[in-house]
Structure 1
């Protein structure tokens, strides 16, 4: 990626479709609330293509691949966040146990 492409991508002028959609766009596309996530901007053209092509499975492959990849990337982000939260919880429990143990030992020593 050249510097020019990086700058265009950063300010939203690249040719790649945006993965986010506004609330108005999602309402106009009649997306169910469960599908209004970060990948909704890719789902809208996919659904439009599906309707135009009568849901033929070999049509709209590029749109479907882009949408499914976006969903997978979001899934990986959620899993990483869950792992982070789980680790923080374990560390907090270890800290509480260590604090309780040290206070108990201090009490017994006195």
Structure 2
């Protein structure tokens, strides 16, 4: 399965978001996913397996529990594939960052002018 086929599923993306915050038990992942997506525990387990089998997650036993974590192998491969396309959005993001910084600076200056004029 291609990395973007795996990432194309919103449930698997959400699981990765949960795992990005740190190692999680399968029960903790299942509780969140069931609440947000309304799918069964076996369905969550299948999504975890797809992530594991495709290099996006690792699992380790901890007594009776199974702890899942992000495996960055497939994410690095997807990032590498995307690298040739970054030129399309990098200048736009840089320009946006400049405008955000300019806006913050103008707001700070306006706030300090307001403070000075009220004194």
> Which of 1 and 2 has greater Rg?
1
The interval holding the TM-score normalised by the smaller chain is 0.3 to 0.5
Taking structure 1 as the reference length, the TM-score comes to: 0.38
Taking structure 2 as the reference length, the TM-score comes to: 0.35
Q: Which has the higher contact order (CA 8 A, sep 6+)?
A: 2
Name the one with the larger strand percent: 2
